[in-house]
Structure 1
Amino acid sequence: MTDPVKRTTSQDVAQAAGVSRTTVSFVLNNRPNHAIPEETRQRILDAARRLDYRPHASARSLAAGRSAVVLLSLPDVPIGAGISRFVEELATALARDGLTLVLHLAGAHGRSLPDVCAAVDAWAVIGFESFDADTVQALKRAGARVVLPAHVHESPAMQLIGRLQARHLIDRGHRRIGYAFPAHRNLRPMAEERLQGVAGACREAGLEPPVVLTTDLEIPGAAAAVAQWKARSVTGVCAFNDETAIAVLAGIREHGLTAPGDLAVIGVDDIPTARLAAPPLTTVYFDLQEVGRRRADAILDAMAGRAVAPSTFDPLIVERSST
């Protein structure tokens, strides 16, 4: 049986460098106002590298006055390309400031969010939606100093996306608009917000409300929705996201129809496969790198006790052949 590998401690580094543990702490944590000779500092750093020493998170938290962990609570929804890109950009932005992003999957049915917060010693916790008051208190009791929504899916932004989709179709002469609603029940709140934007644009243009049909990501379901839209004289469809829009395009082809000739389609997110769809998909794009950077800045502001600036949102239409 293999013996377990012993974790290297700061005491090991101190012994190897021939200094006190306190001196090791001063050097490795970059503590100011301590005149450590350069030769001693280099000896400690060399010993730490040679022993592959990594400071324990709780010890580093004590030294820095805060932990370096930001905990992101992901909702119980399919983790599509849009959410994945946001997480990647947020993690990258936080890493530039020495922070580590840890994910908690709400749908995993494991430990609760406050339990995970305490286990990883998270300084900040953010979620895709605002937390209720009881959850905020539980997170703060678990050690979180900052609790924020991610602000990616706030209501005005969601409605703006739907409004942009519908206006794009209306500006191209479509007078009967459909909406492809996602089948996953946990996507319903977000989809309802986007649908409100579509309905608002139709109302402002003097059109009837959009024809809303639930569309899964299978060809038979999408083809059935296409048949109903055609029967009700719909000529343009706003889809909840790009995955749903690509399913609608497959449903159009299943009937031997074409887009946009028989039915125009617009999605949301500009996922990598949107440009590879048949035909290439018109969609709503937003700069998730910039969104991640702004959210990281908001987290840093909150951690420093500064006022958090309101989040901004600048979606754009990427026009391709499907409209």
Structure 2
Amino acid sequence: MPVKRITSSDVARAAGVSRATVSFVLNDKPGMRITEETRRRVLEAARDLDYRPHASARSLAAGRSDVVLLAIPDLPIGAGISRFVEELATALAAYGLTLVTHLAAAHGRPLPDVCAAVDASVVVGFSSFDQDTVQVLRRAGADLVLPTDTEGAAPMWHVGRLQAEHLISRGHRRLGYALPGHPAFRHMAGERLQGATDACAKAGLEPPVTLTVHLEVASAAQAITAWREQAVTGVCAFNDETALAVLAGLHEHGLTIPGDMAVVGADDIPTARLAAPPLTTVCWDLHDVARHRAETIVTSLAGGGQAAQHPGVSADASTNPHVLQRSST
């Protein structure tokens, strides 16, 4: 036999009060004249019955739900995305908000349907939502959608620029760029490559020699051969996983790092520091990124306007991405 859900009526009967009084106490309504004895009875009854307010009831009482829906694009979920989700969930919890994730890669219900189903007050993305999508999400119940085209999620070119500038500052005059093999990263990789290309142009150098490196030793070794033929001495890799593949290709050729070729990755995944040699990478303070995103959400919901934007994992320059120097460069 299924267990009956405890309702506010059950709490009211146990405490000997009305449902309205239960609502006033549990939602801590200001200005209500409720004696301490009544308040104590209600709280004890709710605790003894293990009562948990239904989402719709909480939404009605608060004027909105406490659910923030994070739309994760159709990308492989690596260490960087996973850690950001954890940090954002923790930061939002400090404000009494609950994070729910929607994986586009799962090819399940459309995002607006999920927004309505979980009664999300906020929808957050890793990239900008166009205005049509914003309107659909608002009709589905979202009070706040971030970021939008009008705000603009910052481009990723900062990453490639920092990588190339770092290698150039260490004397490398011919650079390579390792594109990821996964097609879902194509747009992001293009922006990062553009940053590296701009840095080379600013230094009076040729554009990076661009090759696709799959997460396989054979693919990486083939790329190393091609780069060596074109006198490449420093490689910017799309991310740390791709950079680790490049390191494996260098080891396959018996080359020294960074003596024969230097490599710099991006995202500072946990295994980057365990590579041989430890991987130089571009990183962010994801705790700070998540904290600012949570503050933006709370400020906006309170009607105070939006704070400085930190749209997604790889946000704009205000998140202070920087090169973490290790032994691979």
Same fold flag (TM > 0.5): yes
Partner AA of 1:292 in structure 2: A
Backbone CA RMSD of aligned residues: 1.4
Partner AA of 2:325 in structure 1: E
Pick from 310, 313, 325: which aligns with 1:319? Answer: 325
CA shift for structure 1 position 233: 0.7
CA shift for structure 1 position 114: 0.3
Partner AA of 1:315 in structure 2: P
CA shift for structure 1 position 306: 2.1
Distance 2:47 2:145 in 1: 36
Indicate the residue corresponding to 1:205 in structure 2. Answer: 203
Partner AA of 1:15 in structure 2: R
Across the two proteins, how many residue pairs are aligned to each other?
Answer: 319
Indicate the residue corresponding to 1:137 in structure 2. Answer: 135
Indicate the residue corresponding to 2:121 in structure 1. Answer: 123
Indicate the residue corresponding to 2:240 in structure 1. Answer: 242
TM-score by length of 1: 0.96
Indicate the residue corresponding to 2:4 in structure 1. Answer: 6
Please state if 1:71 is matched with 2:69: yes
CA shift for structure 1 position 99: 0.3
Distance 1:91 1:107 in 2: 20
Indicate the residue corresponding to 1:84 in structure 2. Answer: 82
Indicate the residue corresponding to 1:301 in structure 2. Answer: 299
SS in 2 for 1:103: strand
TM-score by length of 2: 0.94
Distance 2:278 2:80 in 1: 18
Distance 1:293 1:267 in 2: 25
1:124-158 superposed Cα distances (whole Å, 9 cap, x missing partner): 1111111122211111111111111299x9444x1
CA shift for structure 1 position 304: 1.8
Q: Is the contact between residue 150 and residue 295 of structure 1 (CA under 8 Å) also seen in structure 2?
A: no
Partner AA of 1:205 in structure 2: A
Task: Could you list the structure 1 runs, at least 4 aligned residues long, displaced by more than 4 angstroms after superposition.
Answer: none
SS in 2 for 1:320: coil
Aligned pair in 2 of structure 1 residues 214, 154: CA closer, same or farther (>3 Å)? farther
Distance 2:209 2:301 in 1: 45
The share of aligned pairs that are identical, in percent, is 68
Pick from 41, 55, 60: which aligns with 2:53? Answer: 55
1:206-227 superposed Cα distances (whole Å, 9 cap, x missing partner): 1000001111111111111111
Partner AA of 1:277 in structure 2: A
Q: Is the contact between residue 134 and residue 148 of structure 2 (CA under 8 Å) also seen in structure 1?
A: no
Q: Is the contact between residue 126 and residue 150 of structure 1 (CA under 8 Å) also seen in structure 2?
A: no
1:172-192 superposed Cα distances (whole Å, 9 cap, x missing partner): 110000001111111111111
Partner AA of 1:88 in structure 2: E
SS in 2 for 1:200: helix
CA shift for structure 1 position 109: 0.9
Indicate the residue corresponding to 2:315 in structure 1. Answer: none
CA shift for structure 1 position 88: 1.1
CA shift for structure 1 position 289: 0.3
Indicate the residue corresponding to 1:252 in structure 2. Answer: 250
Distance 2:303 2:11 in 1: 35
Pick from 147, 152, 158: which aligns with 1:160? Answer: 158
Q: Is the contact between residue 183 and residue 216 of structure 1 (CA under 8 Å) also seen in structure 2?
A: yes
1:2-35 superposed Cα distances (whole Å, 9 cap, x missing partner): x111110011111111111111111111111111
